[in-house]
Each structure stands twice: as C-alpha cells, then as structure tokens.
Amino acid sequence: MNLPVNFCEACGARLSADMRFCEACGQPVAVPPSEPPQVAPQTPSAPYTPPLAPPPKKLTSIFIGGGLLLMLALAGAGYYFWYAPSRSKEVVRPPAPPPPPVAESLVKPPIPATPPVPPPPTALAPGDLQYFYYINPKFHYIISFPRNLLVPQGIFPSGAGQRFLAPENRAVLTVWGEYLQQGDSLERLFQQIITQRTCTYKVCKADWFVVSGYLSDGRIFYRKTLYRDNMFKSFEITYEKEQKDLYDGIVTHLARTFENTRPVD
C-alpha cells in the first residue's frame, strides 16, 4: 500500500502521509479527512443463559451418607463371601472330658500334728563353753566371755561397753568404762560399793579392786574395776545361787582375762 505524498504549505518541503510536523520548518501538517471507519456487521448473539446454581447442602450430605453406606455394604459382603466360608472349614473339636474326681484327702490340707514340746535345754558343762574376746577401743580394755552361754546384746550408744545375757536371764554380765569425775578415786568407789552391798570378799589395790557377795534378791555378784589413764574399766556378773558350780569357773576366767589395752593410734 502506497501512502499519498504531500508538501509543506510553509516551506514546500516534501511530507509523508504519516508526518504531523514538517521536518524542515516545524510547521504543523494539516491532517486530511480520513475515511469513516467501516463497522463490521454484528452477528446475532445467543440468548443469555444464567449459570446453574450449586446443589443444596442437604443433597450433598445425602450423597456422602449414601456413599458411606454403600462402602459398608460392600465391606460386609466381602467379609461374608471371603471370611465366613473359611471359618466354616475350621475343625470343631469335641470338649475335653472333665478331670477325674480327686480324693477328699487330697483336696483338704492335712491338719498338722501338734509339734512335740522341746525338752528343756541341757545345762552346759565347763568343758562345753566357747570363749570369745570383746575389745573396747574407746576405754581400752579386753575381756574373754563364753559366747554360747552369755549372748552379747549390742554395744551401748555411748560406746562404753555392752551387756551379755544367759538363757532366761539367769545370769547377766555387764562390762563398761567411765571417766573419773572431780573428786573420784579408786578407793572412794571401793568404799561406796562395800557399804551398799553385802560383801563376802573384797580386795583393793593401787590400780584395781575386787568385790563379791550377795544382792538383796539373793543373787551372787562379782565385780572387778581397773584404774588407768584417768578412767575406770569394770565388769560385773550376777547369777543365781543354784548355778554357783558353773559360774565359779566362769568368774575366774573373766577376772583373769579382764585387762587394760594400749590406745589405738
């Protein structure tokens, strides 16, 4: 398509049809009247159809519920057609026979027989005694006692010593230590004991004393006290007069083995 050629009215310069100003002088170019636009013929449009409304929620719930019921029905049918036949093929075993009756003597526990009354303990002879040592590290003394006759009852909470008991408390052995108080002395302690008890034997030396006799209840007592390093260490045994033959030898052994020990570093 060739565009029409025009000339500038001011300077006569050649103009092209698409120019709006002269390139030589800048004079606006008169625009020739354009042909009226041709309007394309309109085709008749289709009639307007409104969009379909969404189904109501109630119908959606009905559709979902129906789908679930259909799935459950299919699952039940599968269980019936696949699992039920296999169960019908299981072997049915007869019930086990009842156990035979048990004798009445086996059902009820037997009544235990009355245990025989143990005989009274046989008196120990001097040769049957087993001696063990008790050592006290706090007050530094040692003594040997018959363990199978006089049973230790545990060390005192203060650690001063302990007590030993014979069966039925027919004899009591006590060993202990104590610190001297102001004004105490071995002689003073010895005089205090012999004035309060009935003594048949008494001896007092520079570092020990022995007192023996009877208590108010008729029991025999024997006491020995050692003095060393500002401490008293004593043992006293009491026993019944009927057991004098047995305990005379025990008292002799106690008095001989009751000694001071050296302090442990």
**CATH number for the domain that contains residue 253:** 3.40.1000.10
| Residue 234 within a domain | yes
pTM of the predicted structure, to 2 decimals: 0.54
| Residue 222 within a domain | yes
- The residue among 252 and 112 whose pLDDT is bigger is 252
Which band of pLDDT confidence, cut at 50, 70 and 90, is reported for residue 249?
Answer: very high
| Residue 68 within a domain | no
- The residue among 22 and 176 whose pLDDT is bigger is 176
- Cα torsion for 170, 190, 210, 133, to the nearest 10°? 70
Residues 6 or more apart from 160 whose CB is under 8 A from it? Answer: 136, 138, 139, 176, 177, 178
Tally the domains of the chain.
Answer: 1
| Residue 164 within a domain | yes
| Residue 161 within a domain | yes
| Residue 205 within a domain | yes
